[in-house]
Structure 1
Amino acid sequence: MKRYLEEHRDEMLQLLEKLVNIDSGSYDKEGVNQVGYLLRDIYQQLGFHVLKVEQSDHGNHFIISKNANPSQATILILAHMDTVFEKGTAGTRPFKVEGNRAYGPGVIDMKASLVSVIYAVKALLHSQNDACAKVEILLTSDEEIGSPTSRALIEQHAIGKKFALVMEPARKNGAIVSARRGKGQYTLEVIGKAAHSGIEPEKGRSAIEELAYKIIQLYEITDEEEGIHVNVGLIEGGTSVNTVSDHATAQIDVRFRTQEQAQEIKEQMAAIIASTEVDGTKVKLEGDINRPPMEKTEQTEKLLRIIKRVGDELDLFIKDTETGGGSDASFTSALSIPTVDGLGPVGGRAHRESEYLELDSFVPRTLLLAHVIKELATY
């Protein structure tokens, strides 16, 4: 398989260039579908069954399996086709190679991974290994915006699987991901009473003042040692500098390590909004936890040991790490499916103009994936 991948490295790069040069932002339905249909055709040429899951507002999802009956699969591979970049980005900043790095919108998050999955499968087929029969691949279209339409599909297809492999990129130091913090998003709204701040300020009830108290209280939930973090990222309020504000809002992001912490955060936030500091104001909190945490369980540890042993056999030293960012790995992990993330190639600066792929990781990480699939198929 190593020889096969080395011989097809240029072909891998050509496919990567083609994918990167297609705009596929999460809200670009046409672009995401263009990526999806390109990948569908490749898998069908390899003899895979591809089921399209039609979406009305976002790109379509694709379920891919070697057998017509995917229930025989024991390994779920998750990868997303969408990026964070606006339509037109690929035209102004197309794929390019400079030295040992490739650049372009979505090159590492996660179009290189889409190529890796295909060529891991090709390498297995070339070696006449039947491990692909144990694999189900789910390509989704909306991971970058929280997986609103794909979450239920992921959870549905995770049922009965022994392992979940998630193709987010490896960390910059090559580490794979064994734990991710959960995530919640909330909107806090405060209603006050407007008044002229010079003529009759006593008649006003400042929504901004009340919001300021609430923001301080929210930040007090943060516990860095325990992995709990609250961030008020956006605030808005008022109509003019000489008017006591009658309305103010805050957008809140919360992160946590465990499901128990999620419940504690909810209770603390409920206590914060149960009363007001500024008489006559009213507060309302909307939102919820939208990604559970990916917790490093004993099952995860067993899967990690398998992957690290395979890495050792390939002269790849694999270490694992925790990260605060979210991914679809949280959904399979929450269902107690042994899950490891960050199995894509190595790169960095995802979501930025300088996003890059380390080219010398492309073949080794694809080879690692192929051998991990081969090993897990025996369980």
Structure 2
Amino acid sequence: MEKYILNQKKEMLDLIEQLVNIDSGSYYKKGIDRVAEILIKQFREMGFQVTIKKNKRYGNNVVIEYEKNKETDILLVAHMDTVFPEGTVSERPFTIKGTRAYGPGVIDMKSSLVTLLYAIKALHHQHNNAYKNVTIILNSDEEIGSPTSRKLIEEVSATKKYALIMEPARKDGSIVSERRGGGKYILSVKGKAAHSGVSPEEGKSAIEELAHKIIKLQQLNNAQKGISINVGMIEGGNAVNVVPSEAKGMVDVRITSSDQAKYVRKRIEEICAKPDIKGTNITLKGGINRLPLELNKANKKLLQVIQDAADSIGIELKAVHTGGGSDASFPANLGVATMDGLGPVGGGLHNEDEYLEIDSLTERCFLLAETISRLSE
């Protein structure tokens, strides 16, 4: 199997180049659906059946199985969207410099899509029936919180024993065994406008009310417990000489354990339930939409299987905790043994210098194929 994968290295890089050079930002449906078409063709050539879950606004989500509706043990999840808007590819297309490949979405996660495809191809080539034991979800909206694919992932996860999430490995090659959970809130305040020189007493400042709420929200931060509340964006007012009638704050929430979700949710709702400035009105929308990925007993067992597979092919594999969220939260919090970061090694995620360590491409492909094989025994 290793020899087969090594022989496919150029072909894998060529496909990565093709995918990277397609703009597929979360809001660019045309590009995401084009990425899906290319991958679907390859899976169908191996006899897989494909179900396309169509979306009007976002890209379509795709479910891939060898035999439709047959029970499988393993769920593989990889997203096709990137954070980069339409037109980014024309500014900086796929390039190779030394041992690294660069381009928008090259590591998050166009290379992971190819790694997944060729791991299945390797099992298929070896006549290893483990390739029939997987259900694959290619989703279109992970970078914006998986609004259309979350329900799909949860529905498919319900019957699975294992979930392998294809986010990239960390810079040092570690996979991800723990992630923080989180969500986003939008706090909108309505006040009453008035001229700040002629009749300021008649006004009710929405910005002043928002300021009170920001201070209270920020006080929920607890670094020791891993609770992070960040009011990262604010807007409001129309003119400097007018008491502002509207203001808005965007709030990012991060939690480390599942039991923190209820506490943080309750405290945010309590803070926003009553105005500090009489005469203002507050609307709170949003919530915590991803619970943490925690290293529980089931996940520890899965991690050990992956590390044993790594040892067998000469990889010293570590696992780390990371602050960012991913689709790993959804199967994990349904009790499915879940591990993340099964993609190749790279860095610079979401930046202009995003890169893939080319030599890790075949290595992680082999590791994924070996892991699927062991989980299917």
Please name the residue that 1:308 is paired with.
307
1:131-150 correspondence runs (5 A): 131-150=130-149
Q: What SS is found at the alignment partner of 1:227? A: coil
Query: Matches of 2:265 and 2:8 in 1, distance apart?
Result: 51
Please name the residue that 1:58 is paired with.
58
State the TM-score, normalizing by the size of structure 1. Answer: 0.96
Deviation, 1:39, is 0.5
- What letter is aligned with 1:67? E
1:177-192 correspondence runs (5 A): 177-192=176-191
Deviation, 1:310, is 1.0
Please name the residue that 2:115 is paired with.
116
Alignment of 1:78 with 2:48, yes or no, is: no
Query: Matches of 2:226 and 2:364 in 1, distance apart?
Result: 30
Q: Is the 8 A contact 2:71 2:159 kept in 1?
A: no
Say which is worse superposed, 131-140 or 282-291, in terms of deviation: 282-291
Deviation, 1:11, is 0.8
Query: Matches of 2:360 and 2:96 in 1, distance apart?
Result: 14
Query: Matches of 1:273 and 1:50 in 2, distance apart?
Result: 45
Please name the residue that 2:37 is paired with.
37
Uncovered stretches (5+) of structure 1, i.e. residues with no partner: none
Say which is worse superposed, 169-178 or 120-129, in terms of deviation: 120-129
Query: Matches of 2:188 and 2:60 in 1, distance apart?
Result: 35
Please name the residue that 1:205 is paired with.
204
Say which is worse superposed, 27-36 or 212-221, in terms of deviation: 27-36
Query: Matches of 1:280 and 1:53 in 2, distance apart?
Result: 46
- What letter is aligned with 1:153? L
Q: What SS is found at the alignment partner of 1:152? A: helix
Say which is worse superposed, 172-181 or 199-208, in terms of deviation: 199-208
Deviation, 1:323, is 1.4
1:230-379 correspondence runs (5 A): 230-378=229-377
Deviation, 1:279, is 2.7
Deviation, 1:204, is 2.2
Please name the residue that 1:100 is paired with.
99
Identify if the C-alpha distance between structure 1 residues 115 and 192 changes in structure 2 by more than 3 Å, giving closer, same or farther.
Answer: same
Deviation, 1:99, is 0.5
Say which is worse superposed, 317-326 or 60-69, in terms of deviation: 60-69
Q: What SS is found at the alignment partner of 1:72? A: coil
Deviation, 1:344, is 0.1
Please name the residue that 2:11 is paired with.
11
Please name the residue that 1:163 is paired with.
162
Query: Matches of 2:5 and 2:135 in 1, distance apart?
Result: 21
Q: What SS is found at the alignment partner of 2:159? A: coil
Deviation, 1:195, is 2.1
Offset from partner CA, 1:8-44 (integer Å, 9 cap, x none): 1111111111111111111211111111111111111
Query: Matches of 1:168 and 1:289 in 2, distance apart?
Result: 21
Q: Is the 8 A contact 2:227 2:256 kept in 1?
A: yes
- What letter is aligned with 2:85? E
Query: Matches of 1:82 and 1:350 in 2, distance apart?
Result: 13
- What letter is aligned with 1:175? S
Query: Matches of 2:27 and 2:376 in 1, distance apart?
Result: 36
- What letter is aligned with 1:146? G
- What letter is aligned with 2:24? S
Q: Is the 8 A contact 2:130 2:372 kept in 1?
A: yes
Query: Matches of 2:33 and 2:282 in 1, distance apart?
Result: 42
Deviation, 1:280, is 2.5
- What letter is aligned with 1:165? L
Q: What SS is found at the alignment partner of 1:105? A: coil
Say which is worse superposed, 339-348 or 260-269, in terms of deviation: 260-269
Say which is worse superposed, 269-278 or 255-264, in terms of deviation: 269-278
Q: What SS is found at the alignment partner of 2:220? A: coil
State the TM-score, normalizing by the size of structure 2. Answer: 0.97
Identity of aligned residues (%): 51
- What letter is aligned with 1:249? K
Shift >3 Å, 4+ stretches: none
Query: Matches of 2:117 and 2:327 in 1, distance apart?
Result: 19
Deviation, 1:321, is 1.2
Query: Matches of 2:117 and 2:285 in 1, distance apart?
Result: 41
- What letter is aligned with 2:216? Q
Q: What SS is found at the alignment partner of 1:110? A: helix
Query: Matches of 1:284 and 1:119 in 2, distance apart?
Result: 48
- What letter is aligned with 1:333? A
Deviation, 1:275, is 2.8
Say which is worse superposed, 198-207 or 298-307, in terms of deviation: 198-207
Deviation, 1:185, is 1.0
Aligned residues: 377
Q: What SS is found at the alignment partner of 2:185? A: strand
Query: Matches of 2:51 and 2:295 in 1, distance apart?
Result: 32
Query: Matches of 2:95 and 2:120 in 1, distance apart?
Result: 26
Q: Is the 8 A contact 2:217 2:229 kept in 1?
A: yes
Query: Matches of 1:189 and 1:376 in 2, distance apart?
Result: 48
- What letter is aligned with 1:117? L
Deviation, 1:203, is 2.4
Q: What SS is found at the alignment partner of 2:224? A: helix
- C-alpha RMSD over aligned residues: 1.3
Q: What SS is found at the alignment partner of 2:361? A: helix
Please name the residue that 2:21 is paired with.
21
Q: Is the 8 A contact 2:77 2:138 kept in 1?
A: yes
Query: Matches of 2:4 and 2:294 in 1, distance apart?
Result: 36
Deviation, 1:244, is 1.7
